[in-house]
Each structure stands twice: as C-alpha cells, then as structure tokens.
Amino acid sequence: MKLKLPDPKSPLRIGTRGSPLALAQAYETRERLSIAYGLSLDSFEIVVIKTTGDKVLDRPLKEIGGKGLFTKEIEEALLQESIDIAVHSMKDMPVQQPNGLILDTFLPREDVRDAFVSRIHTSLADIPQGATVGTSSLRRKAQIMSKRPDLKIVEFRGNVQTRLKKLDDGVAECTFLAVAGLNRLKMEDIITAPISTDEMLPAVAQGAIGIERREKDIKVATMLEAIHNSATGLLLSAERAFLEALDGSCETPIAGLAEFKNENLRFRGEILKTDGSEVFSDEQVVSKEDATLVGIEMAQKLLSQAGNDFFS
C-alpha cells in the first residue's frame, strides 16, 4: 500500500505547547519530516495548545500536579483527533501514556548538560556565601543544596525568556537552564558555563525530543519511522525504566543518564532528599541489550541503600 503523504490541503497537524522552545522543537520535527519526504513546509500545520503548566506560573509544579501538567491537554487533542502528532520535551513526559497513545519516536539527542547562567558570577564554584539561586527544578535544588547548603533557593518558573528577565530584575544572582534548550533557541551566548555531568547529573531524558501518536494510526507510524533515532531511543529506554521503577515525578529529585561507552552502555543514577541532606548515586556499564534492565536494577539498588520510604 502506497503511503499517502500530507499536502497543503490536508496537512499533518503537529501539536505543541506555545513557548519559544516548544515551538523550536515542533519546527525541528516539521523540518525533518519535510526533508525526509521532500514535502513543502506548508504540508504541516503547527497547532499550539496551552497546557495547565503554562497557565499556572506562580506555584511550584509539585503543588499543582507534576509532569502531566505539560502534556494533558495536548494528549486530549491527540485522542480527539484534532492533531495528528504531539511533540514533547522528553524530560517533561510521564513514563506512562494514556490508553490509545504511544511514544516511540525520538529525534537525535542534544547536549544533555545543565548550563550555569549568571550576569555577575562566572561559575557555580564562584557563587559567594548566602547568594540567591533561582530554580524551579527539585532535582537542581537538591543537587545544589547537597553541595552548597548556604545558598538561598527561590522559585524560578516560566520559559527561558521569563527566567532571564528575573535574573535581570535581581530576583536571583544565577539560575540553571538546559544547554539543549538554549542550543535549540540559538541562545548559546547566554551560557556563562556548561556544567559537567560529573558535577550535576541531568534530569532523565534531558535534551531529547519525543513524538507521540495514536497507537492505531499506522500511516503516521510509518511516516515517523523516517525520522526516528534509534540510538536516542535506546538510551531513553534505560533512563525511563529507571524513572518508572522509582515511581518518579516532578515531586521527587531524580537524575539519570545513559551514554554509549565503546560497544557498551554506561548508566549513572542518583536520588536525593529534597533538601539535599542525603544523596545516593551509582553507575554501571552493561551491554546495550540490557538497557532497560540496567535502569530497573539501578533503581532497586539505590532504593535498597536509601530505604523504600526515602521519598516519603
């Protein structure tokens, strides 16, 4: 059966949040599909959907529902067939998708590191005693407090532009952003210093874009095969298995990173108390075939050290 491709009269509808970064990710998806099939850009329609996470900016995510806040309305649109695919930042994605939806297409992964961003300090080590740090990430907060309990952490929600304005307004002296997002926005110049993953292990799936579709939509599934990056998929299978085994959400400080090491896979995992008072971390090198298994084993290993009530 010949694949019926989208065209300007019947475009493929790409659902996304409306932030500059979310739009950049949707445009990248559109461009990759356009090149893969030799289609004009107007064969694709970008559909902006406002999520609960975009509407509530004055409270921490843990108080209003966690990761699903950035996906619920988009997934509803997908199930109602008002869009054909949804483009997501994978670090925002819950490990379980609603019935009828599947997440099995990933674009090549960007830089996984966090970026230190400040108008007045040159690095994390340079921050003076008692300085104010802005972040909305429980992971980053816990990691910072485990190293520098003297620092004052203030809530710093909003898109990249909003956070930069807060820096300029003096709400905080520095903040942390994903290098991947700044690269995609072509804002690399605002990075004061990238932070080594040895110093700050990133969020699970940081730097990766995922594309969600209806499980029974064979036409879309076939189209997406052309842009799927299997290497990213393999790495994320380890990281998301780790997150799922920990029952992780935005309410729990968890970091995890899978990387290729020669012909094998290196996995590092970390769990922290929200105040940074306790940190458990470990790493393993396994064969690529054991990617999912190593994520589960790492979660079990860290929980056995920390105790099952560690996140309570």
Nearest-5° angle of CA 178, CA 182, CA 187?
Answer: 150
Residue 10 DSSP class: B
Q: How far apart are CA 92 and CA 84, in angstroms?
A: 20
Q: Token digits for 199?
A: 């110093």
Contacts of residue 305, defined as CB under 8 A and 6 or more positions apart, other chains included, come to 280
Q: What are phi and psi of 126, to 5 degrees?
A: -85, -10
Q: Contact at 8 Å (CB) between 311 and 252?
A: yes
Whether residue 92 lies in the annotated active site:
yes
Marked catalytic residue, from 7, 42, 54, 92? 92
Contacts of residue 243, defined as CB under 8 A and 6 or more positions apart, other chains included, come to 95, 204, 205, 254, 256, 295
Q: How far apart are CA 34 and CA 45, in angstroms?
A: 12
Rounded alpha-carbon distances, angstroms, from residue 11 to 8, 41, 85, 121, 175: 5, 9, 12, 47, 40
CA dihedral 72, 74, 78, 84 (to 10 degrees): -160
Known catalytic residues are 92
